[in-house]
Amino acid sequence: MCGAGRELVVARAALHFWEEPPISGKRGSGAVFFAHCPLRCVYCQNAPIAVGEAGAEVGVERLSEMLLELAAQGALNVNLVTPTHYAVEVRAAVAAARAGGLALPVVWNTSGYETVEAVRANAGTVDVYLSDFKYADNALAVCYSHASDYPEVALRALEAMVDEVGSPSFDEVDGMSRLVRGVVVRHLMLPGALEDSKRVVRLVHERFGDEVLLSLMNQYTPVLADAAAAGDGRAAAALRRSPELALRVPDEDYERLLDYADALGVEDYFWQEGGAAEESFIPPFDLTGV
């Protein structure tokens, strides 16, 4: 399903400045972007790597070297972006890098579509989970990600993540808090899906409270529209099925979601303001650092 073969494929390994503040800080997060993905979201913001159109094959030894190189560049952590389908090799690379002196927190940046067994297998490797919770509605999960069981699977995985790494823990670097243990739950608002976003916020808050950090994002970028205009048949077909994906999330809907979180009593969460829905948030997958 993920499209990956026997070898690791990496599209970029570089400092990344667009994660949540305690993950990117001032120095940047040492992000390694893996190619392929086990969850096929039709609106994917990183489609070139998700479908394997970018990236180069590397071995475990080279990946461990990349992690050490990112540390040498001053990275606040090492941030493994969509690593689930390479979990065995990635864990081996982290172990080798630690044996070589890596002392940074390890961030597992995931769609949230993980099995409990996969999360348990990361014990001792992962310090921070940066996990999506995309939908509370199974119908949306089917329509957009071809995964009817996404809400249930993601909830079980999230429970395992919290059990493994515990509540958020911080230290201080450059006068800013750095997350060294814990779980950040990301929710990307989608156009026309305000009520589902509210359900996600309620579910996560009522189940986990302050055991997780909630991040509410309005940076949805309608890349499908540009791809369809450029002649991409898959994008055009996706827009015919779901024309709302050609739109941006209205500012008013995002404000309603933030107001809802406040009304629920969510005391502290990450939010974005102005200009977040820009392709500048999508890095070039040009083999930098590979």
Q: What is the mean pLDDT of residues 269-282?
A: 72
The string of pLDDT tens digits covering residues 64-78 is 999 999 999 999 999
Residue 116 lies in a domain: yes
Give the span between the Cα atoms of 147 and 127, in whole angstroms: 27
Q: What is the mean pLDDT of residues 49-58?
A: 94
- According to DSSP, the β-strands at 169-173 and 29-34 are unpaired
The string of pLDDT tens digits covering residues 107-146 is 999 999 999 999 999 999 999 999 999 999 999 999 999 9
Residue 173 lies in a domain: yes
Residue 152 lies in a domain: yes
The type of residue at 230 is: A
Residue 176 bridge partners (DSSP): 173
Residue 132 lies in a domain: yes
Q: What is the mean pLDDT of residues 79-99?
A: 98
The CATH number that applies at residue 133 is: 3.20.20.70
Q: What is the mean pLDDT of residues 231-241?
A: 89
The pLDDT score that the predictor gives to residue 281 is 66
As a whole number, the mean pLDDT across the chain is 95
The pLDDT score that the predictor gives to residue 277 is 53
Extended beta strands in the chain, E state: 8-16, 29-34, 56-58, 78-81, 106-110, 128-132, 169-173, 176-188, 213-217, 269-271
Give yes or no for a contact between 23 and 81, defined as CB atoms under 8 angstroms apart.
no
Residue 123 lies in a domain: yes
Q: What is the mean pLDDT of residues 82-111?
A: 98
pLDDT at 83 over 70: yes
Q: What is the mean pLDDT of residues 275-288?
A: 74
Our count of domains for the chain comes to: 1
Residue 3 lies in a domain: no
- pTM metric for this prediction: 0.96
The pLDDT score that the predictor gives to residue 278 is 56
Between 105 and 284, the more confident residue is: 105
The pLDDT score that the predictor gives to residue 67 is 98
Residue 234 pLDDT class (50, 70, 90 cuts): confident
Q: Which of 21-25, 38-42, 275-279 has the lowest mean pLDDT?
A: 275-279
Domain extent, residue 205, equals: 8-281
Residue 247 lies in a domain: yes
pLDDT at 94 over 80: yes
pLDDT at 274 over 80: no
Residue 227 lies in a domain: yes
- Angle, CA of 13, 16 and 21, to the nearest 5°: 145
